[in-house]
Amino acid sequence: MRRTVRLRDVAAAAGVDASVVSRVLSGDARLSIRPETRERVLEAATRLDYRPNTAARTLKTARTMAIGMIVPDLANVNYATIAQGAEEAAGTAGYTLLVAHGSAADRLPDLHGRIDGLLIGMATSETPRHGEFGGGVPALLVNRREPCGIPSVTVDDEAGGTLATQYLISLGHRRIAHVAGPQNADTARRRLRGYASALATAGVELGPEWVAESSFDEAGGHAAAGRLLRLEPRPTALFVANVRAAIGAMAAARRLGLRIPEDVSIVGFHDAPFAAFLDPPLTTVRMPLAEMGRQAADNLLALLRREPIEDLMVAIPPELVVRGSATAPAR
Amino acid sequence: MRRTVRLRDVAAAAGVDASVVSRVLSGDARLSIRPETRERVLEAATRLDYRPNTAARTLKTARTMAIGMIVPDLANVNYATIAQGAEEAAGTAGYTLLVAHGSAADRLPDLHGRIDGLLIGMATSETPRHGEFGGGVPALLVNRREPCGIPSVTVDDEAGGTLATQYLISLGHRRIAHVAGPQNADTARRRLRGYASALATAGVELGPEWVAESSFDEAGGHAAAGRLLRLEPRPTALFVANVRAAIGAMAAARRLGLRIPEDVSIVGFHDAPFAAFLDPPLTTVRMPLAEMGRQAADNLLALLRREPIEDLMVAIPPELVVRGSATAPAR
DNA sequence: CTGTTAGCGCTTTCAA
DNA sequence: TTGAAAGCGCTAACAG
């Protein structure tokens, strides 16, 4: 069992001082060194398979070179996509992305000292108070904007809501109901706003009973859609603010004996690998989540450099993925 | 902006030496100290909101008090469940679980120095060579057993395969085909073995054409089931080795104009939140994944204590979740 | 162009 | 019952 290789071991092997090795390996620009010396150092480092001690380096520099991301639900495809983008951007900047599962309040203590900054994905049920996460590392909210003093990166949920609704309108629908997300989440509120503004633009007037609030999951979508589909006159189309809720909505429609899309069209929000294999395949709105992750990481890194940060909305527009769950209304 | 609180600051505030504070706060048993002194130390620590410097502690003790888990697919519900169990067990032992996304080979360098041990979830397409992950931290394979010199924790996939198949047999099926997982993954092989042994026990003889290999995703299940359902005589039931593939299989059946479960019964493997909302709701076999995560973390921690570790299979038996996708065959 | 030096904040052995 | 001292492995300012 060989002892772990230290900087000084490399230095000894190369016949130089440890500080020289340090400067060579960290690519210090302001270092002038004889090419052959550098060569010897590099050779010794690779030969001995030197790996810098992270703790020592962190202790000295006061930087971990890692950023954390807290996700409320590890199994959520959306967070996975966001994380992938974030990891890419972090990696490019030489940082590692560490993911933890839970709420920021719960996991922050665990992460303390292991990360330089934090990307916070919040559960839709959380409503943070102002300044709640101030104590500790620089933080950035991902996919949610909250008045808690933390800057955010989001996507254009309103445009997504408008896109979905406009599509249904263009198909000829007028009685379009909305399975809205939990209204304490601003993403859900913005999607609702997009829905409402698309209707307004088209001159369609619908009362508040055409919107049913739901959690972002199957059971919620099932319940909310069940209520909506009992309205008289019945909606010919549903815009559902989430893929998982959309699955629940489809189940609710079937349970009422309604065919999709003949009797009721359904458009979802966000995409998932299984959406194309549902019966019928789900038409949905795809948001630039990976890009949001990338920009979130970039912005967090800027924050670490103490650059001024604003709330940011990813400029890439949402995309309509047309599959089989929406068609023109029967007449 | 207050400077960060050091051990010595607490010591100064309490009027003792830093080493005393260290021993008090880390609960050193072999320390005899006057109750009032201890009180003063504790009070000073809380008052100043002292947080130990992780890097300094790690540098000194050579332990990070964190374990890592690498998952090939962050969005996979199964890994999420496993991670939840692992996190729970790690937390109980005072460790933090850090999740990284990708392959062990890719992410190990990033994690070096940040964790004391590693839980490896492998992508089903990977086939590691012997000793591949030896260089670095102690590691443990989760949900997969491979001859690469790393101990593993798995669930009883064979029993799961048997359970699913026996259920179909008990329903009266004899022509039961199997959408098997990728055969380079031992989980998939064990499920196939369970299927085969259940058939053998029941005295049902079926040729190899009744098994179609598939990737663990919707498209794979769709293709494999499509092939199987064109067999003559047609299978009356399908045991699909994965939930996602089961969704694909359902789509394939529908495309052939077959009703589920009237024309063909389908039983899946693993569960997912959406499974209950499919059309029809998916009958499936649920494995003790959270428990596997727990035991994996416990075993890894034992490994860190240099205790001898064996390959382990979680003793909890799989559970059949009966929903609507399987029924007696038409006669 | 290269070496010396002084810590970063903590734990732990030893001494008082 | 408490304090002193050494050192984990690294970096960065300064000296030569």
Q: Closest Cα to residue B326, out of B261, B269, B275, B279?
A: B261
More confidently predicted of A133 and B109: B109
Residue B274 forms contact with A (CB below 8 Å): yes
Token output for B191: 């499920």
Tell me the pLDDT tens digit for each residue of B181-227. Answer: 999 999 999 999 999 999 999 999 999 999 999 999 999 999 999 99
Contact map slice: B 217-256 vs A, CB within 8 A: 217-218, 222, 244, 247-248, 250-251, 254
Sheet of strand B139-142: strand arrangement: A312-313, A152-154, A139-142, A117-121, A66-71, A96-101, B96-101, B66-71, B117-121, B139-142, B152-154, B312-313
Query: For the range A305-313, what are the long-range contacts, defined as Cβ-Cβ under 8 Å and sequence gap of 24 or more?
Result: A309/A140, A309/A151, A310/A151, A311/A145, A311/A151, A311/A152, A311/A153, A311/A154, A312/A151, A312/A152, A312/A153, A312/A154, A313/A153, A313/A154, A313/A155, A313/A156
Q: How confident is the model at residue A135 (pLDDT cuts 50, 70, 90)?
A: low
Q: What is the pLDDT of residue B3?
A: 63
Q: What pTM was computed for the model? A: 0.94
Domains and CATH numbers, chain A: 7-52 (1.10.260.40), 63-155+289-313 (3.40.50.2300), 157-287 (3.40.50.2300)
More confidently predicted of A262 and A31: A262
Q: What is the pLDDT of residue B1?
A: 42
Tell me the pLDDT tens digit for each residue of A39-88. Answer: 999 999 999 999 999 999 999 999 999 999 999 999 899 999 999 999 99
By CB atoms closer than 10 A (0-12, 13-18, 19+), residue A321 is: middle
Contact B86, B115 (CB under 8 A): no
Q: How far does B146 lie from chain A, in Å, by closest CA?
A: 24
Q: Closest Cα to residue B224, out of B205, B204, B243, B246?
A: B246
Tell me the pLDDT tens digit for each residue of B134-187. Answer: 567 999 999 999 988 899 999 999 999 999 999 999 999 999 999 999 999 999
Which residue's CA shows the smallest distance to C1' of D1?
B33
Residue B11 CA distance to nucleotide D6 C1' (Å): 19
Q: Cα–Cα distances in Å, from B83 out to A84, B77, B79, B98, B216?
A: 18, 10, 6, 10, 19
* HEC letters along A294-326: HHHHHHHHHHHCCCCCCCEECCCCCEEECCCCC
Residue B46 forms contact with A (CB below 8 Å): no
Q: Is the CB of A12 under 7 A from strand D?
A: no
Q: Is the CB of A31 under 7 A from strand C?
A: yes
Which residue's CA shows the smallest distance to C1' of D7?
B60
Residue B96 forms contact with A (CB below 8 Å): yes
Q: Can you spell out the DSSP letters for B169-209? A: HHTT---EEEEE--TTSHHHHHHHHHHHHHHHHTT----GG
Neighbouring C-beta atoms of residue B232, cutoff 10 Å: 4
Q: Is the CB of B48 under 7 A from strand C?
A: no
Residue A113 forms contact with B (CB below 8 Å): yes
Interface touch A53/B76, C-beta < 8 Å: no
Q: Which nucleotides in chain C have some atom under 7 angstroms from a protein Cβ?
A: 1-5, 7-13
Read off the amino acid at residue B308.
P
Q: How confident is the model at residue A134 (pLDDT cuts 50, 70, 90)?
A: low
Q: Is the CB of B63 under 7 A from strand C?
A: no
Q: Which nucleotides in chain D have some atom under 7 angstroms from a protein Cβ?
A: 1-5, 7-13
Q: Cα–Cα distances in Å, from A82 out to A89, A174, B112, B311?
A: 11, 34, 24, 35
Query: Strand, helix or coil at B165?
Result: helix
Q: Per-residue pLDDT for B38 more than 70? A: yes
Q: Return d(Cα A64, Cα B221) in angstroms, integer.
A: 43
Q: Cα–Cα distances in Å, from B75 out to A80, A257, B78, B81?
A: 5, 33, 9, 11
Q: Is the CB of B59 under 7 A from strand C?
A: yes
